[in-house]
Amino acid sequence: MRKLLAVILCVAAVFLCGCSGEDTHALPGSAEDNLIVVGFSQVGAESEWRVTNTENIKSVLSEENGYMLIFDDARQEQENQIRAIRMFIQQDVDYIVFSPKVETGWNAILLEAKEAGIPVIVIDRYIERQDEDLYTAYVGSDFYKEGELAVKWLEDFLEEQGRANEPIRIVHIQGTIGSTPQLGRTVPLENAVKRHPNWVIAAQECGDFTKAKSYEVMSSILKRTTDIDVVYCENDGEALGAIAALEEAGLKCNPEDGVIVISFDATRLGLEYTLAGKIALNVECNPLQGPYVDKVIKKLERGEPVDRINYVDETYFDYRTITREMIDSRGY
Ligand code: AHR
């Protein structure tokens, strides 16, 4: 709030140097002196989920809501995120909000923020445990719970189908390696494979949370084998890419007599695929984190204590119970 002059000077410096800050908001006027200045480093725009997340944060941390938001899109590069955070520190913003691409590598820059006395709110993904005292609050998903839920659903479904002891060949398309959603969704699957001697991971490749990469890796896996029971994708973009490749290869994506596709996010398009039965289970990853961040900041402004971990509400959608009304009534 008190820091607009510094922000004006630094934003001007960014503008003159031409480095970073492409999406930086217009310079504030004096009428905006009471705005809370927030620097937000977003990891990129790799998925429909991410785009919704960005729009939500921007719409909630708005001027009407008492904020001046400085937005930076890191385009999937951790070094861009570090550079943006350093710029926010130089601008002496009131709060830093960031969605870390991966869990490691944040120690030095977060120490700089701490030394500058700027509270950091980590959103969406976590950072490694050793750095936990370097941020004020986390807002986002419980990715391990999401992974556990998906694996439990698969166990129950195979049991119901009478296939609990049959060989189950799983293709696993992973998200960005080292990111919390990848780790949280991968570990429960790998643990389940250890528990079930009849489950085997036939292929495990990185789809980087994108439809294009997933289509590419799935197509190449299909050149090696078409003996596939389950495709476990770590987001909807990957599921859509994998389904396109599977169908092109003549395989049916249908949990009753074809490939069982599991996905995460529950975006609108992902849920259309769930309604069509092409995605058997879609575990929600809620991108609407803006209201949670707003609540944390407003509490801090009032000098109230905040919860360190703030999980967003999430559910899941089963192809057997999802309805058109459910999709139409959703907020994103
Ligand atoms: O961190 C959230 C994950 O990242 C979402 O599952 C995915 O779609 C996004 O790109």
The residue ranges of every structural domain in the chain are: 3-140+287-301, 143-285+318-328
Q: Which atom of ligand 1 is nearest to the CA of 49?
A: 8
The Cα 185–Cα 143 span in angstroms is 6
Quick: pLDDT tens for 227-281. 999 999 999 999 999 999 999 999 999 999 999 999 999 999 999 999 999 999 9
- Residue of the CA atom closest to atom 3 of ligand 1: 181
**Full strand arrangement of the beta sheet holding 309-311:** 67-73, 36-42, 95-98, 120-124, 137-140, 309-311
CATH topology of domain 3-140+287-301: Rossmann fold (3.40.50)
Instruction: Tell how far the Cα of 235 is from the centroid of ligand 1, in angstroms.
Output: 6
pLDDT grade, residue 28 (50/70/90)? very low
The Cα 4–Cα 47 span in angstroms is 33
Report yes or no: 35 and 4 within 8 Å, Cβ to Cβ.
yes
How large a percentage of the chain has pLDDT more than 70? 90
Q: Mean pLDDT across the stretch 285-306?
A: 98
DSSP state of 24: P
Instruction: Tell how far the Cα of 228 is from the centroid of ligand 1, in angstroms.
Output: 25
Q: Mean pLDDT across the stretch 298-314?
A: 97
- Could you tell me which residues come within 8 angstroms of residue 58 by beta carbon, excluding any fewer than 6 positions away? 69, 71, 290
Residue 169: is its pLDDT beyond 70? yes
Question: What pLDDT, on a 0 to 100 scale, did the predictor assign at position 129?
Answer: 85
Quick: pLDDT tens for 187-240. 999 999 999 999 999 999 999 999 999 999 999 999 999 999 999 999 999 999
Report yes or no: 98 and 73 within 8 Å, Cβ to Cβ.
no
The Cα 219–Cα 207 span in angstroms is 12
Q: What residue ranges line ligand 1, CB within 6 angstroms?
A: 46-47, 49-50, 124-125, 181, 209, 235, 264-265, 285
**Closest listed residue to residue 138, CA positions, set 104, 85, 98, 102:** 98
CB-based burial, 115-126: b 16+ in 10 Å, e otherwise: eeebbbbbbbbb
CATH 3.40.50.2300: does it fit domain 143-285+318-328? Answer: yes
Asked whether the domain spanning 143-285+318-328 has the same topology as the one spanning 3-140+287-301, the reply is yes
The pairing of strands 316-318 and 281-284 is antiparallel
The pairing of strands 199-206 and 230-233 is unpaired
